[in-house]
């Protein structure tokens, strides 16, 4: 059973079946209990009425043996009276169906005269709830189940103690229970069939959009066309949210694939120039050694090495490599990097206090710092400044220059890979356009951020914000 529709239909049918069977059994039990209680009440009323007549020495009413069979049994087991027409009975004090001669005085229950002028001496009837029992009575050859109530009574005058058994038929109870049972046996399968069919149809209708999504995803997989999208239902239910999420995933996947393609194309383009230049110089050097431009070959080799290192770092970042957890004194790192640039065209002025530490990979943070200083020195006119300060829970590294700055519309674009705003520059001077992209990726993987704004001197102001290392970390 692999179909969701089938599983839902069967599951709903089983649940309804269990609920209906449980409810049906409860109804049958309650109905039977109520009917038995009604029969108990009827039998008790008849038994007490007969006991009252017996207690006064009057003859009991034994005329209706079918609706109210009566048997009076003395304490010694002798049957004093039985309803006429009863040929067999069970559930009472004795199976005898005829009155017996029980000795002097004990026959008065059958021979009493309601027209006796003498006031009969009252007897005693047991109080409290009588005992009840199940039995059967056969009248004129027809046997039926009965419910008997037993009331103990002492007759006035002679003090004879007996038990009055009066019955109430259970035929009506059995007929009602059987009718309800038959109705349930007929109606339950029909109701379950309706429930299963309705569940199947409703589930089928609800899952139609899912089937559309599956079919479109299969088509996208077969065609490898990530620009296609799955249909989105007009409803606002879970299926519609699934379709929207699927389309968002497809859009993100398409953008990722496009970035990878562009990355490969741009990397190939960037690698082609230094490789071609280096090959040309080596070929010229091989034919004419005196014309070999060794510094140029070295510069192209260095550029190739740097580009390969950038591409390798980007690949590691894209693979989700987690940064280290070393403690880094950001102020000391900035001073160390600036000291190594003392002979550059534009020196770096540093303002940084000691003890401002962050946690992460020292090599990657140093790479970000180097990229920011390279960018600032490339665009500055006369000055580059680097400062480190504490702001709340963050340590902020700010690198500023007095160049032309970054236009507002380009402040996010410069962090994309292989994007350079100085396309007019030579590749040797302008770089490959990976430095700022690497810097932002490293900042984000360290739980920080990298933004660009306008410096007080009018140039670009890059701010690297990283969480400060916890004390004792």
The count of other CB atoms within 10 Å of the CB of residue 88 is: 12
For the chain, domain boundaries: 4-177, 238-318, 326-467
Q: What is the DSSP letter of 468?
A: B
What is the spatial distance between Cα 357 and Cα 123, in angstroms, rounded to a whole number? 108
Contacts of 451 (CB under 8 A, 6+ apart): 411, 462, 463, 465
Confidence check: pLDDT of 427 > 50 = no
Q: Which of 279-288, 375-384, 389-398 has the lowest mean pLDDT?
A: 279-288
112 pLDDT band (50/70/90 cuts)?
A: very low
Write the DSSP assignment of 185-251 as a string of letters: HHHHHHHHHHHHHHHHHHHHHHHHHHHHHHHHHHHHHHHT-TT------SS-SHHHHHHHHHHHHHH
The count of other CB atoms within 10 Å of the CB of residue 350 is: 17
Beta bridge mates, 425: none
| pLDDT tens profile 13-46 | 888 888 888 888 898 888 888 888 888 899 889 8
Confidence check: pLDDT of 386 > 90 = yes
Which residues in 18-49 are b (16+ Cβ under 10 Å) and which e?
eebeeebeeebeebbeebbeebbebbbebbbb
Higher pLDDT, 385 or 272: 385
Higher pLDDT, 97 or 375: 375
Whether 238-318 shares its CATH topology with 326-467 is answered no
Confidence check: pLDDT of 269 > 80 = no
Closest-CA residue to 356 (of 398, 395, 386): 395
The count of other CB atoms within 10 Å of the CB of residue 352 is: 18
Closest-CA residue to 296 (of 428, 431, 422, 432): 428
CATH for 326-467 (3.30.565.10, 3.30.470.10, 3.40.50.850, 3.90.170.10)? 3.30.565.10
Confidence check: pLDDT of 452 > 90 = yes
Closest-CA residue to 463 (of 413, 403, 411, 409): 411
Quickly name the fold that domain 238-318 has: Helix Hairpins (1.10.287)
399 pLDDT band (50/70/90 cuts)?
A: very high
Q: What is the DSSP letter of 322?
A: P
110 pLDDT band (50/70/90 cuts)?
A: very low
Q: ∠ at Cα 325 (319, 331), nearest 5°?
A: 110
Q: What is the pLDDT of residue 104?
A: 53
């Amino acid at each position: 059973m692999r179909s969701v529709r089938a599983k839902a239909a069967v599951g709903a049918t089983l649940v309804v079946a269990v609920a209906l069977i449980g409810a049906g059994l409860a109804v049958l039990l309650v109905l039977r209990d109520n009917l038995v209680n009604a029969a108990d009440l009827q039998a008790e009323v008849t038994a007490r009425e007969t006991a009252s007549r017996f207690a006064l020495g009057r003859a009991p009413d034994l005329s209706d043996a079918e609706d109210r069979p009566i048997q009076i049994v003395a304490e010694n087991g002798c049957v004093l009276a039985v309803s006429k027409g009863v040929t067999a009975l069970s559930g009472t004090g004795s199976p005898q169906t005829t009155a017996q001669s029980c000795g002097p005085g004990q026959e008065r229950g059958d021979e009493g005269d309601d027209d006796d002028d003498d006031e009969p001496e009252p007897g005693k009837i047991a109080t409290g709830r009588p005992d009840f029992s199940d039995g059967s009575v056969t009248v004129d050859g027809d046997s039926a189940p009965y419910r008997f109530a037993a009331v103990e009574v002492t007759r006035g005058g002679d003090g004879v103690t007996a038990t009055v058994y009066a019955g109430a038929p259970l035929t009506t109870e059995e007929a009602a229970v059987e009718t309800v049972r038959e109705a349930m046996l007929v109606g339950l399968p029909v109701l379950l069939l309706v429930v299963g069919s309705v569940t199947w149809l409703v589930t089928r209708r609800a899952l139609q959009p899912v089937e559309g999504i599956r079919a479109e995803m299969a088509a996208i997989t077969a065609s490898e066309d990530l620009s296609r999208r799955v249909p989105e239902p007009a409803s606002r239910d879970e299926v519609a949210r699934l379709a929207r999420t699927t389309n968002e995933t497809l859009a993100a996947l398409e953008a990722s694939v496009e970035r990878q393609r562009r990355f490969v194309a741009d990397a190939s383009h960037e690698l082609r120039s230094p490789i071609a230049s280096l090959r040309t110089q080596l070929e010229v050097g091989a034919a004419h050694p005196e014309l070999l431009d060794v510094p140029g070959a070295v510069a192209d080799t260095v550029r190739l090495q740097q580009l390969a290192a950038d591409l390798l770092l980007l690949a590691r970042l894209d693979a989700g490599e987690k940064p280290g957890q070393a403690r880094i004194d950001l102020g000391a790192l900035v001073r160390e990097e600036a000291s190594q640039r003392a002979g550059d065209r534009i020196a770096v002025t540093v303002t940084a206090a000691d003890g401002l530490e962050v946690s992460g990979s020292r090599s990657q943070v140093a790479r970000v710092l180097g990229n920011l200083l390279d960018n600032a020195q490339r665009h500055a006119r006369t000055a580059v400044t680097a400062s480190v300060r504490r702001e709340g829970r963050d340590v902020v590294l700010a690198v500023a220059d007095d160049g032309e700055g970054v236009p507002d519309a380009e402040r996010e674009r410069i962090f994309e890979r292989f994007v350079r705003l100085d396309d007019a520059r030579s590749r040797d001077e302008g770089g490959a356009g990976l430095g700022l992209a690497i810097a932002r990726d490293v900042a984000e993987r360290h739980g920080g951020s990298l933004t660009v704004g306008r410096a007080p001197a009018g140039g670009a102001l890059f701010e690297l914000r990283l969480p400060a290392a916890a004390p004792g970390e």
